[in-house]
Structures are given as structure tokens and as C-alpha cells.
Structure 1
Amino acid sequence: MNKGPGLFSDIGKKAKDLLTKDYGTDKKFSISTYSDAGVAFTSAAVKKGGFSTGDVAALYKYNNAVLDFKVDTESNISVTATFTDIVPSTKTIASLKLPDYNSGKVEVQYFHHHATFTTAIGLNQTPAIDLSTTIGTPTIVFGAEAGYDTASGKFTKYTAGISVEKPDSYASIILADKGDTIRVSHVHYLDELKRSATGGEITRRFSTNDNTFTFGGSFAVDNLTVVKAKLNNHGTLGALLQHELMPKSVLTISSEFDTKALEKTPRLGLSLALRP
């Protein structure tokens, strides 16, 4: 793929990953194995509250094609096929979730040095259509997206955004929810490898006059251990410890506290991912 401005979904992603990625209050265990034929198998179990769920997934790569197949404990089947460069500088993604036969969708992504374009359409009689585009460079990106429901003949969403990236920082502004929400985020890197960073996100919803501020950071203790923390203006404090037990095998311990109600029991999460 050509190196260009990236997809619209990438705008604001760095701050979102810093403040939300790997945080959780569930108990999760997954193990992955790989065959000589290029097939990856993953089995995962999740305990959320008093309920337990699980799934088994298989990933097969061949040349420019990737087939992802997943089955969960409720007999839901998810199939995703990704094809790269069927047409130069494009990626095509076809997905289907069974038993919902109307969930089929095809997405085509086009990449250029100074622009990207994505279109996704549902495979049913009254499909939903999503369009997004970006222009710019890897340093500064302008983008917009829109969703249209052919059944109602109405737009379901329209969003605009801009991001600016420098060697030691990243910032973005997104106007979402048909102009009702503005989201401003910033990330500052503390080292050249970008393993430690601080950042924050401010969200304002105009219709309800509601503001949310979230600030946090990620700090590399050593080559194998990362500590993260975040706090929002509603008093929710999150903390996370992630340690690489062996190459590609990671243990994550996370917790969430309500600083305005310390009598409540903190919520704890545990995740163990084993990969050979």
C-alpha cells in the first residue's frame, strides 16, 4: 500500500488507544497456535460478571488474501475475507455473520499518496452505505465520512475530522454525531520509540451541554513492562499493568475505581494471551 494520509478511522486513534486500549474489567484467557500451512488458531474464554463466553477462531493467509473464521459459544459464525491489491492500491473486505444473513457487507478501500477513499455497502435489499475520504499527508490529514440508509432515505451520520502529527506529538479534532459532538485529543510522546506517552481527550455534546475530560499516560518501566493510568472528570480512575511473560505472550492486569465512591469495590480485570 502507498504511504499516504491513512483512513478516516485512523483520525484520533492514537489518543483512543492510549486512553482505552487493553483496559478492561473482564477475565479473559486466550491461546494461539500456528501451523506450517500458514493457519493460526485462537481459542478465547471471557468471564464477564457471572457469565462466561468463548470463541474459536482460525486465520489463514495465502498470498494477498486473508480468511478469518470465528465461532462463539452461542453458535454465531463470523467470516471475513480480505484481499489486497486485486486492483492496484486497494483492499477489499467481505464479511458475513451467521445466522443473520442480512449482515453481509463489502468494503473497498483505495489508497493514494495524498488521499484515501472507502466505501462500504450492505448485502441486502435495502443496504446501508458508508463513505469516507481523507486528503493530506502522513503529517496532516483532513477527512470526512457519511452514512446513508436506503430504506429510510436518510443520512445516518456525517462526521469531519483533522489530525496533525509531529515526531513528538499527535493532535486531532473530530466533529461527530451530525455536528452535535466535538472531540479534541492530544498525545505527547516521552521517548523516541514512542513507548511512553501522555495525552488527553475532551468531548463536548452540544445538545446536552455535557463535557467529558479524560487524561492519562502510558509508561514503559522496561522492555517487558508497561504501566498505564487514566482519570476523567466524573471521578473514574483506571490503572493497568502489562507484562510480556515471553515473546508475544502478555499478561494484563487492570482495575477501575470510582474516586467519588470509595466505599465501592474496585472493578478488576485480568487478561492472559499466550502465543508461541
Structure 2
Amino acid sequence: MSLPQPVPPSWKDLGKSSNDLLGKDYPFHGTSLEVKTKTPSNVAFKVGGNRDSKSGAIAGDIEAKYTDKKNGLVFTETWTTSNALKSQLELENYLAKGLKLDIATSLTPDKGQKSALLNVIYKQSGVHTRGAFDVFKGPTFTTDTVFGRDGFLFGAETAYNVTEGKITRYAAAIGYNAPEYAVTVHGLNNLKTFTASYYHRVSADVEAGAKAVYDTKATTSGVALEVGTKAYLDSAAFVKAKINNSGVLALGYTQALRPGVKASFGLALDTQRLNEINPTGPTHKVGANIVFES
């Protein structure tokens, strides 16, 4: 008798280990600050601000999140400096075990922009599926499913425009997840863009990964390749480094200064143009992120 299969990752989380390794903790696009607090009544507040180093634009938002774990309820309200009001209601295991309802809305009154996305997520042993209905865009119905067995993963996604009565997007993926490594191959954009990602936990203190992208419709031929690594210096600090085949080297350093205070610093260098030393220009970039949490 075979053992029950674990719930596989969702479609958007296929290749997540590699994407996180290569994409997170590199705050070289600007300077940002986050302050997180939580009340005894299970309401969490988050205030964030970011200054883009290229444009100099400053953006921010304030978020309030109420969580009722007993009833599987999460309600989030966000207000941004661009005057966008966002709301999200999540109900998990409320109607049935493994079933999650997610309603997300957004409204920008001065621009007349609005959106509403209804999500239904179902996950059980060996399967993780989702259906999303975009009320104002199309309207469009999107569905994706991931099947998993013995570490092997198979997934597919499709989007259907209700008004036009046709499929507007489809994609597929295959992968394998093991405790120490993961491999994922995607066929995206109607199977016109192909990506392959690899993640390896070399040891308890070192991680490595790579990602290759081939776009059949790109104006430049060849494969875009990026490789990176992460190393823990101790329990409170780690460094990251990555480089792509365009010669851009990125470095990141994250340090927990004290409980509830974390600082991250990022640097991006175009190794083919090292003679240009202006770090705030288009060639080289620096940035920082500070998080306060209580």
C-alpha cells in the first residue's frame, strides 16, 4: 500500500526555491523601509516606503491584516500613496477541508481603475488546483493544476476570455523536488518561452541555483542564464551573489541587528563597464532595505 502523497506546490510556486535564491534579498533598486507591528487582537499592521534610485520616485503603503486562525479567516486592507485601495478576504477550510476562497479587489478612484479577482483553491494529497475569475479584465477565467507523486511534479495553466470565447494563454511545467535539490522546466506564453531552473542545498550553510530562459520570439538569439549562491555566515547573517550572461554581478548582505530589526544591502555591477564608477547611474546600482518588526 502506497503512502499518502504530500500536497504539491501551487502553479505559481513551481521553481520557487530557485526564484527566491536568485530574486530575493538584492535591494539594489533603491532604498526601502518596512515597519511591522501586531496587536493582541490578531491585527497586524505594516507600513512600507520605497525610493526608486533611478527615477527618484517615492512610493508607500499601509496595510492592516486581521487573522482568525480558528475559523481560517484572513482579511487584509491596503492603502497606497497612489490612492489605490486594496482589499482581500481569505477563507480556508471553512466550507470543506482543503478548500480556500480568496476575493481580492482594488480601486483607484481618481483614475477610475478597478479590479476584482475571485479565486477558488483546492488542495489534497497529490493535487493542488486553482480557479480564478477576473471580473473586469475580459472577463477572464484562469485555471491551473499541479499533480505530484514521489517528488515528480506536473502542472498546466490556461486562461479563457469569456467575452471573446477563446483561450488566450496556456502553459505547462514539469519538475522534480527532493529534500536537497529541485529541478523545474516551464513552457510559458503559449509555449513560446521556456525556462529551466535548478536549486541545490549544498550543505546546511550553502545554497546554489541557476535559471535559464529561452524566448523564441526574442529579438536577440541565445539563452539568458543566471547563476547564484547563498551562504550563511552565522545564525544572524548571510551573503548572496549572482551573475548573468550579460555580465551583471549582484551582491547582497542581510544582517539581523537585533530581534525584530533586519537590514539588507544590495549592489549590482556591470562587469563589462567597471570603469563607470557612478553607483546611482544606469550602470551600477546600490540600495538598502531595513525592516522593523515587533
Fold in common (TM above 0.5): yes
Q: Which residue does the alignment assign to 1:28?
A: 32
Q: CA deviation at 1:213?
A: 0.5
Report the Cα offset of residue 126 of structure 1.
4.1
Cα displacement string for residues 215-252 of structure 1 (whole angstroms, at most 9, x for unaligned residues):
00011011000100000001111000001122343100
- 2:79 aligns to what? 71
Q: How does 1:1-276 map to 2 (within 5 A)?
A: 3-24=6-27, 25-49=29-53, 50-62=56-68, 63=70, 64-86=72-94, 87-99=96-108, 102-124=114-136, 126-137=138-149, 139-192=151-204, 195-208=205-218, 209-264=221-276, 265=278, 266-276=284-294
Residue 73 of structure 1 and its aligned partner are, at CA, apart by 1.2
Task: Give the superposition deviation at 1:173.
Answer: 0.6
Letter of the structure 2 residue corresponding to residue 56 of structure 1: I
Secondary structure of 1:22's aligned partner: coil
Instruction: For residue 104 of structure 1, give the secondary structure of its aligned residue in structure 2.
Output: strand
Q: What is the TM-score normalised by the length of structure 2?
A: 0.88
Using the aligned pairs only, state the percent identity.
Answer: 23
1:117 Cα offset (Å): 1.3
What is the CA–CA distance in structure 2 between the aligned matches of 1:210 and 1:94, rounded to whole Å?
Answer: 41
Name the TM-score, length of structure 1 as normaliser: 0.94
Q: Deviation string for 1:178-210 (max 9, x for gaps)?
A: 111111111111224xx5201101111123334
Q: 1:159 to 1:227 in 2, by over 3 A?
A: same
Q: Which moved more, 1:217-226 or 1:16-25?
A: 16-25
**2:120 counterpart SS class:** strand
The aligned amino acid for 2:17 is K
Q: How far apart are residue 101 of structure 1 and its match?
A: 6.2
CA shift, 1:69, in A, is 0.8
Q: Gaps (5+ residues) in structure 1?
A: none
Q: Which amino acid aligns with 1:268?
A: V
Distance 2:66 2:195 in 1: 37
Partner residue in 1 for 2:281: none
Structure 1 residues 125, 185: closer, same or farther in 2, change over 3 A? closer
Structure-1 separation of matches of 2:100 and 2:257: 35
Task: Please give the root-mean-square deviation of Cα atoms over the aligned residues, in Å.
Answer: 1.7
- Say whether the 8 Å CA contact 2:115–2:137 is kept in structure 1: no
Shift of 1:14: 1.0
Cα distance in 2, alignment partners of residues 207 and 126 from structure 1? 25
Q: Which runs of 4+ in 1 moved over 6 A?
A: none
**Which has the larger displacement, 149-158 or 226-235?**
149-158
Contact 1:4/1:137, CA 8 A, preserved across alignment: no
Which blocks of at least 5 consecutive residues in structure 2 are unaligned?
279-283
Q: Distance in 2 between matches of 1:127 and 1:9?
A: 21
